[in-house]
Each structure stands twice: as C-alpha cells, then as structure tokens.
Structure 1
Amino acid sequence: MTTKVVITPPSMVLESRVSDEWGSGICDCCDDVPECCFAFWCCPCFACIKTKEYGQCLCLPLLDICGIVPAATLSMRVSMRHRYGIKGTICNDCLIATCCTSCAWCQMSREMNKRSIPIALINARPTL
C-alpha cells in the first residue's frame, strides 16, 4: 500500500499599514534633529546622499544650482509621491521645493526611513 503525500506552500500574510499621506509634515524637523541640521548646513551634500539612497544618480541634486525652481528636488519629490502612493500636486511640490528646499529633503528622508521597514512574514511555516 502506498501513501500519497501532498505538500502545499505556506500561506503568507502581508499586512500593509501604508498611508496615502506624507509620514511627517514639512516642518517636523524635531523628528530627526541630526539629519535636519545636516540638511540645513549642507543641503547639497545631504541631497546627494539621499538621492543615492533613493536609487538615483548621486549628482542629480547639483542641477538645482542652475535655475530658479530646483528641478531635481521637484522631480525627486514627485517621484517619491508616485512610488509611495502619496497624494499631492505638482504645484504644491514646486512651491515646497522652491521655498523650503532643506525642509523638503528632510521630509523625503524621513519618508524613505519610515517606508523602508523590512517586511516580516507572519506564520510562514508549512503546516502538516
């Protein structure tokens, strides 16, 4: 007599608590004081580091020096909104990128830190 063994893959549960809003406000610098100080005193260096962490060209923020509206800051903010599904408008992004460049980079940094939490698989063992 033979016995037939059926193996089923484990069922994985993925909980998502992702919001369609920014995780922090534009002026929430007290959430991460060292990063905000770095962004305030050396915004180009901070922006280059964060752009690299985001997966883009390290020198992209240096293009902001060329114009009135910081194009790289604006494009990174729009890209981040689309990647993370955050509501907003390009007009609002343009205003923030132009008037509050350091604060915009700090907010984007905080968002990357909050959203890059590793996914934990719950009950990923096969049941017999």
Structure 2
Amino acid sequence: MPLIERYWLDDQSVPFGTLLRYLEKYYSAEVHYDNFDFLIQRARLADPSDEGMATFKNEVARVLRGDREGLHPQAIRTAAEYDDWADDEEFLAWLWHELYPDEPVPSRPERGAGKSPA
C-alpha cells in the first residue's frame, strides 16, 4: 500500500524522478526478485551510454549528500516499499553498496568543513 500517490509516474520532470521510477521498476516488492539483479548488472556495467543509470546514480548520491529539494519526504519509501531500514539514507546507503561496491557511499559534508576557525 503506497504511503503517498506515485506522482513521479505521471510527470517525468519531477525532481528525483529517475530515482523513484527505477526504485519502482527494479526494487519494489512486486518486482524485487525478478528485477533487482538486472539493476545491479546495469550499475556495475557503468556503460557511459546508459544515461538513465547515470541520472539514477547522480540522484542517489544527491540524496545521500542531503540534497532533497523537491523530493516528497515519503517518496523513496513509497517507491521502494522498503521495510528493513530505518530511513531513506540507511536504505540508500545499503543500495549504493550493493550497486557500487568499489565506491565509497556519498555522505553529507561535515559541518564547518572547509571553513577556517574564527
């Protein structure tokens, strides 16, 4: 049962739309066992001509770094239908590790990083 209406299915231009559509297509409960391995294969191929995967990866990284502008607070949970994680960041960190095991998980910048002491 969705937590919110799946607005990203009707409007291809919504913020993080590729992330949400890919979570529904490759991860959600109805398709997980049939499709998730295909997502892993696509991610690990790192095909430069696969613009959808490049956009998906960028959007996952943005959320992990704390950029959620325009993203409904329940959108990721609704699209992925995850139950085993406390929040989106925990789920997406796990997902990143599954898809890109040789790359560090993007994280939020530390507060005060890059600033000189006053």
TM-score (norm 2): 0.30
Instruction: Point out the structure with the larger helix share.
Output: 1
TM-score (norm 1): 0.28
The higher radius of gyration belongs to 1
